[in-house]
Amino acid sequence: MSRPTGRVLTLLELLQSGGTRTVAELADRLGVEGRTVRRYVDQLIDLDVPVESVRGRYGGYRLAPGYRLPPLMLSDDEALAVLLGLVAGRRAGLTTAERTANETASAKIRRVLPKHIARRLDALLEALAFTDQPGEFDTPDAGILLAVADAVRHRRPVSIRYTDRDGRRSERTLHAYGIVAHSGRWYVTGKDARIGEDRTFRLDRIADARTLPGFFEAPTGPGPAQRVLSGFATAEYRHEVTLRIHGTVEQIRAHLPAGIASLEEHEPAAGQDRASERWLRVELRAQRLDWLPPVLASLDRPFVIERPDELRDVVIALADRLASCARQT
């Protein structure tokens, strides 16, 4: 690469770092005169890179938003960070319906990496192991994801066509509060304008999303992530379970996270440390009860079952099986 060409690419890298750069600053970084900087800028403009001139005492040059992405200049560490992010995102299910986009983006970056960096990256990926198993998730359409995100940002109502888990289809107008990534899936939470209540929808089940005229105020209170977790904990399932558990919030949450159970935190008595053990009410809903006794056993804290009675029978049955196994020699 010739030195002038290399300096033009360096100029692009400097401009991509953001902000307005004065001619004097750019000339100093490139080791050239001011008129040479202007010539390099003209070369970038000829390549359709959207560079704009800023007049005034603190003026200079900066990148303006363009219709297409200009060439991206990444340092070795930046390229490695992007590739690792793509690998982690693919395993966590944080991709869009265009699954090949992740692979093609990775291939493009790896193709232009210096050989010594590519070899080090290959060594890292070969040595890297994950404790979780890669999941097969239904991913949302990129256009729908971006349309909903735009509605969230500008507080605009959005019309969606949705299919629920039972295959029922409906059209809804949503005041979307935020988008939440949870356990490999994308969710949008907001107020269903027809019924006036908060709802959470899986983005991969939305077939169409159109922004509507109008505006709504952002709600106060819990953020989108907490709203999604609370919605999971109070979803309609067969069994409604209420427990009292003696322990700390941290002890209980380690086994019954916010996405599974809601926790009523009573104000501690006068002089009692908020982090100390005390009786706390736990409520959750479940389609089946057989998974809950082992969780309560692993919690290893005193508990009282308030409802349902069926849970008592399931806990007793597990205790009997454990006692029978323990007596065998």
Digit-coded pLDDT (tens) for 50-72: 888 888 776 788 887 653 555 66
Mean pLDDT for 98-127 is: 75
- Is the pLDDT assigned to residue 318 strictly greater than 70? yes
Angle ∠(178,95,49) on CA atoms, nearest 5: 90
Ranges 9-23, 169-183, 203-217: which has the least confidence: 9-23
Q: How many CB atoms lie within 10 A of CB 234?
A: 14
DSSP annotation string for 219-279: PPSS-HHHHHHHHHHT---SEEEEEEEEE-HHHHHTTS-TTTEEEE-PPPPTT--TTS-EE
Q: Choose the weakest-confidence range: 113-117, 135-139, 244-248, 309-313.
A: 135-139
Whether residue 210 lies inside any domain: the answer is: yes
Whether 133 is in a domain gets the answer: no
pLDDT for 292 equals 92
Please tell me whether residues 248 and 282 are part of one structural domain.
yes
Within-domain flag for 87: yes
Domain range for 301: 239-327
Same domain, 264 and 316: yes
Are 154 and 187 in the same domain? yes
| Domain annotation covers residue 298 | yes
Taking the C-alpha atoms of residue 303 and residue 198, their distance in angstroms, rounded to an integer, is 32
> Which CATH number characterizes residue 154's domain?
2.30.30.520
For residue 227, is it within any domain?
A: no
What pLDDT sits at residue 216?
92
Residue 136 inside a domain? The answer is: no
Q: How far is CA 287 from CA 142, 155, 192, 240, 306, in A?
A: 32, 35, 25, 9, 18
Find out whether 160 and 204 touch, Cβ atoms under 8 Å: no
pLDDT digits (tens, 9 = 90+) for 253-307: 999 988 788 888 755 555 556 556 789 999 988 888 999 999 999 999 999 999 9
Average pLDDT over residues 125-139: 70
Task: Provide the mean pLDDT of the chain.
Answer: 82
Is there a single domain that holds both residue 214 and residue 149?
Answer: yes
> What is the average pLDDT across 146-159?
90
Q: Which of 222, 253, 286 is the last residue of a domain?
A: 222
Q: Is residue 49 part of a domain?
A: yes
Same domain? 176 vs 110: no
CATH of the domain at 59: 1.10.10.10
Q: Can you give the pLDDT at residue 298?
A: 92
Q: What is the mean pLDDT of the segment spanning 203-221?
A: 89
Q: Cα separation of 136 and 132, whole Å?
A: 12
The residue-averaged pLDDT of 144-168 equals 89
Same domain, 150 and 206: yes
Let me know: does 122 contact 84? Beta carbons within 8 Å: no
47 and 80 part of one domain: no
**36 vs 221: which has the higher pLDDT:** 36
Lowest mean pLDDT among 100-104, 162-166, 199-203, 285-289: 100-104
Tell how far CA 83 is from the center of its chain. 17
The whole-number pLDDT of residue 67 equals 39
**116 and 168 inside one domain:** no
163/104 same-domain check: no
DSSP secondary structure letters along 78-129: HHHHHHHHHHHHHHHT---S-THHHHHHHHHHHHHS-HHHHHHHHHHHHH--
Kindly state whether residue 13 falls inside one of the protein's structural domains: yes
pLDDT at position 120 is 79
Residues 246 and 213 in one domain: no
Please state the domain count of the chain: 4
